[in-house]
Amino acid sequence: MKINIKEQERERMPLEKNFARIISPLQNFLLSQSSAGLLLLIATFIALLMANTQWHETYLWLTEYPIGFIWGDTTVMHSSVDWVNEGLIVFFFFLLGLEIKYQVLAGELQETKSSMLAIFMALGGMIVPAIVYLATMAFMGGDHWQGWGIPMATDTAFAIGLLVLLGTRVPPSVLVLITALAIVDDMGAVLIISLFYTDSVSLLQLSYGACTLAVMILANVFGVRWVWFYLFSGLVLWWFVSHSGVHATTAGILAALTVPAKPYADTHWFAKNMERLVNHFKKIDDKKTTILEQQKQHDLAEVAEDIAKTATTPVQRWQSKLSKPISLLVLPLFALLNAGVVLPDDAPSMATATVFWASMLGLFIGKPLGIFCFAYAAIKFGLANRPSDMYWRDIVATGCFAGIGFTMSLFIANLAFVGSEASLAHAKLGILAGSLLSALIGFGLFYSKHTKQ
């Protein structure tokens, strides 16, 4: 809920009005839904520009810059791209886990019947792209089968950012569907990463991680809502999971699922105490003085903040706090350090690059085809209902936007082609091309849509 304060009710600093004329557009941009997708696009453009110009060496220095610490005889040193891909991106998966938990408990995935269309669309958007990837690989005689998971996920930030730009041309149910769809296929992508993109597993480290996870679950059951406990426990879980051989991002998802989903106090208690607090605040209010001169008013305002925290769930509160830093900082940084693929000088050589074609066609063809076919089957067999404001054309367009698999696809590509720079470069080019074509076709379908269909 946006807080609106009238001008006559403001307490302004001497130069605040003039400064607000400059800073307000920036604040509005950072708060807009499309800003995350736009920043991802800018970061990708910068990465490609640096990797393919005279700044190529600077880009390599930026991605390979060693960062770490020395503690006694222990030395921990990794490149900047490794820290982002193994550490910082875990916060994105933690946020994803919070969103999954919320959607299952109280959101679009709460009721099976209402979520069936999104579930079927997500299944089609995972199965068919993988089949298209494998079929392309077989048809072209390639042997890079391990990349089949690349076209299976949807980049929610990019997709929703572009959909928002289309305004009223996009039915409201499309935003709901693509969000639920992305959550389901992200769950599938996390499962695939854990099961198929793990080299070897240390059972000892994994057992330590399981014990840490059990402690976090017990803390949830016993009503522990202290943020620092879950932060510290989550870091311990990340350490054990990352050293077990299972990818560290799994720790982010698991940690998020242990975060409490119940507030400390109910809504009746919140309403009663806030009303009492506001009445007390009004009684001592003096329009001739500011809150700086009224320590009691300041104390009451702090109590109101504590009451609000007590009556809100940690899942929603942490999700709200983390969403902007992650979407505006972590994901653009991930794109900056991972999207800088060198474009080929010899364009005809790409005709035989099997990973490029398999990745691109998996996203561009597999995603919309799988989503439409599974949605059509589910609706025709009565397993799901088509929203009243959506036409079949809208479902095809939604499938195209789901073909923007940028962030997660790049992440899976890094896991699939470890040690194979050429294949990884081809996969990244395929992801960029497939995501771009998907966005253009989806944008065109919605933009050119007639009022009557």
Length of the chain: 453
Q: What are phi and psi of 260, to 5 degrees?
A: -60, 140
Pick from 346, 364, 341, 309: nearest CA to 423? 341
Whole-number Å distance between alpha carbons of 233 and 223: 15
CA torsion through residues 304, 103, 188, 211, sign: positive
What is the reported pLDDT for 50?
A: 94
Q: Is 361 in contact with 133 (CB distance < 8 Å)?
A: yes
Report domain extents, the chain: 33-198+247-262+313-447, 267-310
Cα distance between the two ends of the chain: 35
Contacts of 267 (CB under 8 A, 6+ apart): 311
* Tens-digit pLDDT profile for residues 13-59: 554 454 454 444 444 444 555 677 778 888 889 998 999 999 999 99
| CATH superfamily entry for domain 33-198+247-262+313-447 | Na+/H+ antiporter like domain (1.20.1530.10)
Contact 134, 414 (CB under 8 A): no
Phi, psi of 288 (to 5 degrees): -80, -15
Mean pLDDT within 263-289: 84
**365: nearest Cα among 403, 329, 397, 411:** 403
SS3 of 61, please? helix
Taking the CA atoms of the chain, what radius of gyration do you get in angstroms?
A: 24
CA 372 to chain centre: 23
Residue 425: which of 413, 415, 433, 435 has the closest Cα?
Answer: 413
- What backbone phi and psi angles, to 5 degrees, belong to 222? -85, 0
Rounded Cα distance, 361 and 431, in Å: 9
Mean pLDDT of 325-334: 86
Kindly report, residue by residue over 369-420, the tens digit of the pLDDT. 999 999 999 999 988 888 877 889 999 999 999 999 887 888 889 889 988 8
Q: Which residues does 174 contact at the CB level (< 8 Å), separation at least 6?
A: 163, 390, 394, 397, 398
Separation CA 48–CA 406 (nearest Å): 14
pLDDT at 146: 92
- pLDDT of 7 > 70? The answer is no
pTM score of the predicted model: 0.71
Question: What digits encode the pLDDT tens for the residues 162-192?
Answer: 776 677 788 877 877 887 787 787 778 777 8
- Residue 375's pLDDT is 94
Cα–Cα distance for residue pair 255/217, rounded to 1 Å: 9
